[in-house]
Amino acid sequence: MDELPIRSGDDVVRVRQQVRTVAAENGLSLVDQTKLVTAASELARNTLVHGGGGMAGIEVVKSANGRTGIKLHFTDDGPGIPDVNLALTDGWTTGSGLGLGLSGARRLVDEFELNSKTGAGTSVVVVKWSR
Amino acid sequence: MERVPILKIGQTLFVSIQIDLQDDTVLRLQEDLADELATARANGVIIDITAVEIVDSFIGRMLTMIGSISRLFDAETVIVGMRPAVAITLTELGLSLSGVRTALNAEKGLEILNGKA
């Protein structure tokens, strides 16, 4: 698994570029690449802005029926999300955004798992499968 | 941090985004455009995103805000050259870019600003 730090806006751009490269190499369509990179951008920004920085992991996985997928991990040791269901609601926001980051990212991928506890950081794992 | 150049041709400000946008770069562009609009007597802004591979919720919000800011200076903003994959992703993300006009390319964008469309 490729691991990349998320400590600055430039790091967010690097994560996007690396996700794009891995997704293209593993046969995701252009639209699916774009969806995955956009989701990665939202999640990496959350890691930076709300988590105070963290790590991104990029992994190539195989399904039982032989499909290739790209699995992304985003982890931080930030303050965590007190109400995960609320945070996944369209329009819910802590700041000046539109509140589409987390909920939008979930719509752009095939699998989405969010674990967070107040004071114990946040981890988001997503998968996009090739068609 | 990289900066996105703003060109003035006639009464129109042209912005062609050729780099991988990070949040600070977009914020800077917003400020630079507001400064230009306040001093340059432009009646329109064309933002060419042909080379932009993704528009996420932050970049989308900034584009919408640029549209609102230009209206305060009596100028209209037209976003041109959106890639099909970007359009599909934006829609699924739930962003509509309300308040800014879009056109297929810079030429059509100019026609809108010149009142021909």
What domains appear along chain A, each with residue ranges and CATH number? 2-129 (3.30.565.10)
The pLDDT score that the predictor gives to residue A82 is: 80
- Residue B1 predicted with pLDDT over 80: no
* Percent of chain B whose predicted confidence (pLDDT) is above 70: 98
Does B97 reside within a domain?
A: yes
DSSP codes, A13-72 = HHHHHHHHHHHHHTT--HHHHHHHHHHHHHHHHHHHHTTSSEEEEEEEEE-TTS-EEEEE
Token pair for A12: 């967010």
Q: Which of B24, B60, B92 sits opposite A107 (nearest CB)?
A: B92
Per the prediction, chain A carries an average pLDDT of 91
- Segment A39-53 shows an average pLDDT of 94
Could you report how far apart the first and last alpha carbons of chain B are, in Å? 37
- Residue B117 predicted with pLDDT over 60: no
Burial bucket for residue A115 (CB in 10 Å: 0-12, 13-18, 19+): middle
Does B115 reside within a domain?
A: no
**Which helix (H) or strand (E) is A68 found in, with range?**
strand A68-76
Q: How far is CA B63 from CA A57, B24, B79, B87, in A?
A: 30, 14, 8, 14
Does B50 reside within a domain?
A: yes
pLDDT digits (tens, 9 = 90+) for B7-42: 999 999 999 999 999 999 999 999 999 999 999 889
For CA atoms B66, A39, A30, A7, the dihedral sign is positive
Q: Which of B21, B22, B85 sits opposite A34 (nearest CB)?
A: B85
Question: Which comes out higher in pLDDT, residue A19 or A102?
Answer: A19
SS3 B114: coil
The pLDDT score that the predictor gives to residue B116 is: 60
Task: Say if the Cβ atoms of A45 and B23 lie within 8 Å.
Answer: yes
Strand-pair partners of A70: A60, A128
Does B30 reside within a domain?
A: yes
Total domains in chain B come to 1
> Is A93's Cβ below 8 Å from some Cβ in B?
no
Does B40 reside within a domain?
A: yes
The pLDDT score that the predictor gives to residue B41 is: 84
Rounded-to-integer distance, Cα A78 and Cα B111, Å? 49
**Cβ of B106: how many Cβ atoms within 10 Å?**
18
pLDDT digits (tens, 9 = 90+) for B65-78: 999 999 999 999 99
Whole domain around residue B53: which residue ranges?
A: 6-105
Does B116 reside within a domain?
A: no
Closest chain A residue to the Cα of B27, Cα to Cα: A9
Does B114 reside within a domain?
A: no
Does B47 reside within a domain?
A: yes
ipTM associated with this complex? 0.90
Rounded-to-integer distance, Cα A75 and Cα A10, Å? 18
| Domain at B28, CATH number | 3.30.750.24
**Which helix (H) or strand (E) is B8 found in, with range?**
strand B6-9
Token pair for B112: 């809108």
> Is B56's Cβ below 8 Å from some Cβ in A?
yes
- Residue B2 predicted with pLDDT over 90: no
pLDDT digits (tens, 9 = 90+) for A69-116: 999 999 999 998 888 888 888 777 765 555 678 889 999 999 999 999
